[in-house]
Structure 1
Amino acid sequence: MTIKKHPLVPHMVRQVPDQFSWVDHRLVRERYIDHISHSAACLYLFLVTVSDAQGVSYYSDQTLQQRLGMDGSGLASARNALMEQQLIAFRKPLYQVLALDYRRGGYHDQL
């Protein structure tokens, strides 16, 4: 059975904003998200939202903890999980959301 999709609230259909930010659908379709915790997914969404066109952003641990409601060990655990899954790179103070295209292709070895 095919479901016909249509906007439920047509006057509120989202548009690509002027700022640069997106979530790659492959995160769900290719099950990347199945391998991270809720706190790691929360951190990932925040980083995707605030990063520039190159995926780079910088927020202090203190700010991330406050904005995401995490303690220091929770943030470190979330960050490490994202790094292990090759979804982000981190070198204090910079975060980079990595392209999913290179996740399994040995790109991590270049970091």
Structure 2
Amino acid sequence: MPIKRVICPERMRQIPAHFSWVDHRLVRERYIERCDACAAALYLFLVTVADAQGLSYYADTSLVHRLSMAPARLEMARNDLIRIGLIAWQRPLYQVLALDAPPPESAASPRGHSDVATQLERLHAALGKRHA
């Protein structure tokens, strides 16, 4: 195993006085592999600006500008993060969710309709179990 050494000691990270973090389980439990670059950028932004409860109020117009995304692309990124259980959203409030528990089985999209991709995954899993 290679020996780690600090490359730039004068720029070594310190825990900031304000609240923000990225949970290592995002990688270890493969959430990041289910995100595209836009969803990951939105998640990073929300984690960075969220308070201790994971809450933030950023309007779509601000997010589109700050993340250089088209409004439709922002909506897709947000829906992806909701689908994989990383955030909850009720306009205008975002909540970055804890990774401690799996998302609830009856998770719904922000418009109140069931997420089609999630339903298809569940259906495939159920069919696979019956044929196993």
SS in 2 for 1:83: helix
Partner of 1:60: 59
Post-superposition offset of 1:30? 1.4
Asked if the contact 1:55–1:96 (Cα under 8 Å) also holds between the matched residues in 2, the reply is yes
Distance 1:41 1:76 in 2: 13
1:83-94 equivalences in 2 (<5 Å): 83-94=82-93
Distance 2:19 2:105 in 1: 24
- Which amino acid in the other structure matches residue 41 of structure 2? C
Given the two structures, how large is their TM-score scaled by the length of structure 2?
0.78
- Which amino acid in the other structure matches residue 6 of structure 2? P
Asked if the contact 1:86–1:108 (Cα under 8 Å) also holds between the matched residues in 2, the reply is no
Runs of 4+ in 1 over 6 A off after TM superposition: none
Partner of 2:9: 10
1:39-78 equivalences in 2 (<5 Å): 39-78=38-77
- Which amino acid in the other structure matches residue 75 of structure 1? L
Instruction: Supply the RMSD in Å over aligned alpha carbons.
Output: 1.5
Given the two structures, how large is their TM-score scaled by the length of structure 1?
0.92
Partner of 1:30: 29
Work out which of the two has the higher radius of gyration on C-alpha atoms and give 1 or 2: 2
Alignment gaps of 5+ in structure 2: 109-132
Alignment gaps of 5+ in structure 1: none
**C-alpha distance 66-16 of structure 1, shift in aligned 2 (>3 A):** same
Quick one: higher RCO (CA 8 Å, sep 6+), 1 or 2?
Answer: 1
Task: Report how many aligned residue pairs link the two structures.
Answer: 108
